[in-house]
Amino acid sequence: MINYFKAPDVEQSARNIINVLNLSYIDPDRLAFYRSTGSKARRVQARIHGLGRIWFDALNMQPRYIIEVISEEFDKLDASEREKVIIHELMHIPAGFSGGFVPHRGKINKRTVDAMYKSYSEASPQSANA
Ligand SMILES: [Zn+2]
């Protein structure tokens, strides 16, 4: 059975990333962050959830996303690897914050995530201590 818990540590990290990388199209107040345990998924560290746009219309709601980290995989990563996972998931959010997803193909891979992470760590005031 999968259990879900709020993940304020992931939220804080995502908010830092959004600020530092100036991802102003992402409204952090319309993101929710969860940590799950008991997932059978192997080697999956995180995933992003959305709803079809028709749901947001029917619910009279602006689009929202949920970022879920898989405790068994995510929690064994060090801080920088965790940030890369969060960057990866944020990269799935399209510039219009429409509720849809940016697909992996050519856009989200180790190279593009590492490039974003490099910008983030160079611009992050916290990296001065690292
Ligand atoms: Zn992905």
Spacing, Cα 41 to ligand 1 middle (Å): 14
Strand order in the sheet with 46-49: 3-6, 31-37, 65-70, 46-49
Task: For residue range 44-85, list pLDDT tens digits in order.
Answer: 999 999 998 899 999 999 999 999 999 999 999 999 999 999
- E strands, the chain, in order: 3-6, 31-37, 46-49, 65-70
Spacing, Cα 65 to ligand 1 middle (Å): 14
Domains of the chain: 3-124 (3.30.2010.10)
Spacing, Cα 104 to ligand 1 middle (Å): 6
Spacing, Cα 73 to ligand 1 middle (Å): 15
Spacing, Cα 47 to ligand 1 middle (Å): 7
- The Cα–Cα gap between 54 and 77 comes to 36
Q: What is the pTM of this model?
A: 0.93
